[in-house]
Amino acid sequence: MHPARSGTDALALRRLSGLLLCALGTLTSGAGNAGNVETTSSPPAGSVDVSTDSPAEQRSLWSHDAFLDFGHALSFQHPANRQWRNRGTTPRLNETQLNMAGIAVTKEATAASPWGMELLAHAGRDALAFGFHTNQPEVDHADALRHFGRANVSWLAPTGNGLKLQAGLFSSLVGYESLYAKDNLHYTRSWIADYSPYLMFGLNASVPLGERFTATAYVVNGYFHLAQANAAPGYGAQLAFRPSSRWTLRETVYYGPEQAATGIEHWRFFLDTVAEWRGDATTVAFGHQAGTEQSALPGAPRSFWTGAMLSARWNVAGPFSVAVRPEVFWDPDGLLTGARQLVRAVTSTLEYRLSRRASGAGAIFRLEHRYDQSTGPEGGFFGRRDPVTGDIGLIGGQHLAIASLILTFDTR
């Protein structure tokens, strides 16, 4: 994560938004037809599919999708600078924002057509600060590269057990939640999501091990793909297990240098655990992360951080769903957030989802409340400005009420 920037590439955002509004125009024509309401949402980010597709499947391997994500986060504390301290996604408060707009094209790799690709361009408030690391230099051309959400090619081996290679910018193998709110159970992301990579740049290779396991190895340019502490790569592996059609378990490790000093004694070790259960009307997901790193500064102690979240979503009736997510994030050395703090939060979400099967257009309306509490030597959220000194004070707790509208178009 990186502090939000003022240069937002407004011209590119206006052009992209215009294209998306045209693509989503079909939603406004007859969207109120209740017979076209679809209540089954796509699998959220973090779920794992270890199945293989039949080459005889009669459908197009190409798909196109687009989305617009508008949100307004009202802080009852009314911070003077309207900023949500230490956050990369939905960082602005008490303002209506176009948090994300994206357009994508995807070609699926199958046994009959082994080459695949993904290309996703995006812009908006949430595209400003993701992919960066606190107190690390940026990669060259970071201001342009942050407008890409995926840009990769893949190849499915025609023989063997289904070996698949993927190279370029791809969705992170770490974490449960996506950079894009439309793919998540809640509108705002958890703390462990904002401080782990949403995307990775490099190469990964995955292979099924029987019917229930999938193993993946990867080499990437670093923990956050838009940060560059050094020129050395990072390495990792993942094991996914599906004991049944409802359960997904996944363990992922990352190991690599995240400082200017690249000696192995200073490498970062990071562990990510995800467990998901999907019922007919209920989804429950658990995520836990922990990392450690020895600073190269003389006399500096070993840094450590950890966090966890538990999210549950229930489809109440038709297009209505509710969800709740308690979470905790502990950064005692301030390595990731830039502040020594312990954060606890609870998020509650009410969702109404509308989908038109014929056109592929849809809309997601969400109302959300969350309470975050930050304690510790450097904890707190921005508050009001001191009338005497002019300084913005810090407060220990923050209540947010959030309203959002996400418009989607998907040909799949």
* d(C-alpha 71, C-alpha 183), whole Å: 15
Task: Name the residue among 173, 179, 228 with its Cα closest to residue 204.
Answer: 173
Beta bridge partners of 344: 328, 373
pLDDT of residue 389: 87
Is residue 39, in this structure, part of any structural domain at all? no
SS3 150: strand
* CA-derived radius of gyration, the chain: 21
Query: Residue ranges of the alpha helices (H) in 152-260?
Result: 191-194
In CATH, what number is assigned to the domain containing residue 331?
A: 2.40.160.10
**Residue 102 C-alpha from the chain's centroid:** 14
In tens, the pLDDT along 356-376 reads: 777 789 999 999 999 999 999
* d(C-alpha 174, C-alpha 309), whole Å: 14
pLDDT of residue 1: 54
pLDDT of residue 55: 44
226: left (phi over 0), alpha (psi -120 to 50) or beta: alpha
Query: Is 308 in contact with 289 (CB distance < 8 Å)?
Result: yes
Query: Is 218 in contact with 174 (CB distance < 8 Å)?
Result: no
Is residue 216, in this structure, part of any structural domain at all? yes
Is residue 364, in this structure, part of any structural domain at all? yes
Side-chain-side CA neighbours of 143 within 13 Å: the count stands at: 7
* d(C-alpha 87, C-alpha 192), whole Å: 11
- What's the CA dihedral at 148, 225, 220, 343 to 10 degrees? -120
Query: Is 213 in contact with 205 (CB distance < 8 Å)?
Result: no
Beta bridge partners of 400: 75, 370
pLDDT of residue 5: 46
Beta bridge partners of 165: 155, 205
Is residue 53, in this structure, part of any structural domain at all? no
Is residue 45, in this structure, part of any structural domain at all? no
In Å, what is the CA distance from 406 to each residue of 59, 101, 321?
Answer: 27, 9, 15
Mean per-residue pLDDT, 327-335: 96
SS3 5: coil
pLDDT of residue 387: 86
Is residue 37, in this structure, part of any structural domain at all? no
Query: Is 383 in contact with 394 (CB distance < 8 Å)?
Result: yes
Write out the E strands in 295-396: 302-317, 320-331, 341-355, 361-375, 381-385, 392-395
Is residue 43, in this structure, part of any structural domain at all? no
Mean per-residue pLDDT, 233-258: 97
Count of domains forming the chain = 1
Backbone torsions φ then ψ of 151, nearest 5 degrees = -160, 90
Structure token pair of residue 265: 């004694």
Task: Name the residue among 74, 30, 40 with its Cα closest to residue 351.
Answer: 40
Between residues 18 and 216, which one has the greater pLDDT? 216
In tens, the pLDDT along 31-61 reads: 434 333 343 344 444 444 444 444 444 468 9
* d(C-alpha 183, C-alpha 161), whole Å: 29
Neighbour-count burial of 40, counting CB atoms closer than 10 A to its CB (0-12 exposed, 13-18 middle, 19+ buried): exposed
pLDDT of residue 42: 45
Q: Regarding beta strands 361-375 and 320-331, do their DSSP bridges make them parallel or antiparallel, or are they unpaired? A: unpaired
Query: Is 348 in contact with 323 (CB distance < 8 Å)?
Result: yes
- In eight-state DSSP terms, residue 208 is E
In tens, the pLDDT along 70-125 reads: 999 999 999 999 999 999 999 999 999 999 999 999 999 998 999 999 999 999 99
Is residue 69, in this structure, part of any structural domain at all? yes
| Percent of the chain topping pLDDT 70 | 86
Q: Which domain holds residue 283?
A: 10-31+60-410
